[in-house]
Amino acid sequence: MHSAPSLSCSRLGKVLTTRTRTLASPLFYLFSLSMFGATFVSASILVDENPVVPGYVMRYAPLVWLHSEDPFRPSDLIKHLQHTTPMINGKPVEDPSSINLDNLDRLNTAGEKKVALTSKDDVTKFPPWLYGQEPDGDGKLHNATASVVIVVEKPPQDVDAFYFYFYSYDQGGNMTQVKEPLGSFIGSQDGLHFGSHVGDCQHSDGAAYDWHDERVMLKDGRPYVYSALGSHANYPASGEQTHDSVLFDNCDSGMLWDPVASAYLFHLDPDSFRLTRLSPSKSNLATSNLTSFFYFDGIWGDDEYAQDDPRQHKVPWVGLKRFVAGPQGPAYKGLVRKGLFPDGHGGKNFLQWAAAAFMALYPNYFRAWRKWITISVIVVLVTVLVVGGGLVARRCKQNNKPRYEQLPVENIPLMEISCEHDGPCSPLEDDGS
């Protein structure tokens, strides 16, 4: 195996939808590890009847620092299903007691609209199951599996390992997490968090790091990842982390979690998109398939609450909502890709570009007294352009006017005037008047 794999730490679901989290919608957060120049071939993992996850996938798996003040910890996937009801337009479509990780994709044919795994409880009351489970002193979860590892072999010698982390509740940021001066433009929203959701598997962008990048901290060859307060976005360092130009997350070394100590392990064929369960080791073989959940095309959480729902709230002008719909699962995270980032990685919309441009100019041109100088310069430039443009337009109008000049009659020999027809011109005849 290549000694220097590269890291991709992604925020699967955070957009200027941005950094808001929605309501009851579970969350799979992605951290991917790409190995280039490996010495094995695509069929090597599945060559055995009971395939085992490659040792390097576990050996280089990231360790996650959970924020010290974050009450929402990693959550067991099965327990999450037990507290949800499959719904379309707020109406149940199947008995929730019959749903499990190995038959979840049968909900794909329940209706024309995607099924939402909707919380049985009012999430604004924060039922206990939303809080997940704290790891022990060794970073392990007991009686809970909150991580999914998917290995994608891309012949002849590339392997991508994707690490998904599951939280039953993802809490969006409040308005104190908007960088100035835009935070003051939005104003106080009574401490509400925007973009919260039940079940989470998203974040829209991310960053890639070389294995030996000084910003990547390692412990026994395993990189540290910092899970942001509330949003659970992954970052390579602690402290304040800016995203989408105007928003920020907070990370610290609160509680260490080892996700692969209890994880569902899979192999994904990039051509057939067939998922195969992997065992942790030869002495610990998997006893069930559990691949159906991967093909479920609905959303892992509540659908977005209507505007007239008393739980919903919208920030005027900006459009941020307190609760948004839950995300789709790992199959929709661009697992088959040419590089570290998903193919066709979406660009920024106009609002995001405008916000980024303003925040880039703000420190030098708009902060404090600088804004008055900038405004004065802009006023002068606009005045010059308007006045100058008016003068130029007036001059052009004058230049385009037709000009007439009277010719002296005595200088024109009348007999030399040429006629438009052939032959000599006839002199004007007296009409007798």
Report the amino acid identity of residue 31.
Answer: F
User: Rounded mean pLDDT of 384-398?
Assistant: 85
Residues 298 and 368 in one domain: no
Q: What confidence tier does 369 reach under pLDDT thresholds 50, 70, 90?
A: confident
State how far the Cα of 179 lies from the Cα of 19, in Å rounded to an integer: 12
pLDDT given for residue 191 in this prediction: 44
Same structural domain for residues 341 and 361? no
Residue 208 has pLDDT above 90, yes or no: no
> What local confidence, expressed as pLDDT, does residue 344 receive?
66
Is residue 10's pLDDT more than 50?
A: no
Tell me how many domains the chain contains: 2
Could you tell me if residue 421 is inside a domain? no
Q: Is the same domain home to 25 and 75?
A: yes
More confident residue, 13 or 60: 60
Q: Which of 372 and 257 is assigned the larger pLDDT? A: 257
Q: pLDDT for 66-99, tens place per residue?
A: 999 999 999 999 999 999 999 998 899 988 788 8
pLDDT more than 70, % of the chain: 66
Q: Which residues pair with 404 in a beta bridge?
A: none
Per-residue pLDDT, 256 = 97
In this structure, the answer to whether residues 296 and 367 fall within a common structural domain is: no
On whether residue 425 sits in a domain, the answer given is: no
- Judge if 376 and 302 occupy the same domain: no
For residue 163, what are the domain limits?
6-347
Residue 246, pLDDT score: 61
First to last CA, the chain: 116
Q: Are the CB atoms for 315 and 194 separated by under 8 Å?
A: yes
- On whether both 108 and 213 belong to a single domain, the answer is yes
Residue 130 has pLDDT above 70, yes or no: yes
Instruction: Identify whether residues 375 and 305 lie together within a single domain.
Output: no
Q: Which of 82-96, 123-137, 364-378 has the lowest mean pLDDT?
A: 364-378
Q: What is the pTM of this model?
A: 0.71
Residues 271 and 366 in one domain: no
Cβ atoms of 254 and 224 closer than 8 Å: no
Same structural domain for residues 299 and 330?
yes
Kindly state whether residues 259 and 367 are assigned to the same domain: no
In a domain, 131, yes or no: yes
Specify which of 41-50, 129-138, 276-285 reaches the highest per-range mean pLDDT. 129-138
With a cut of 90, say whether residue 362 has pLDDT above it: no
Higher-confidence position of 252 and 392: 252
Tokens of 301: 């959480």
CA distance 75 to 73: 6
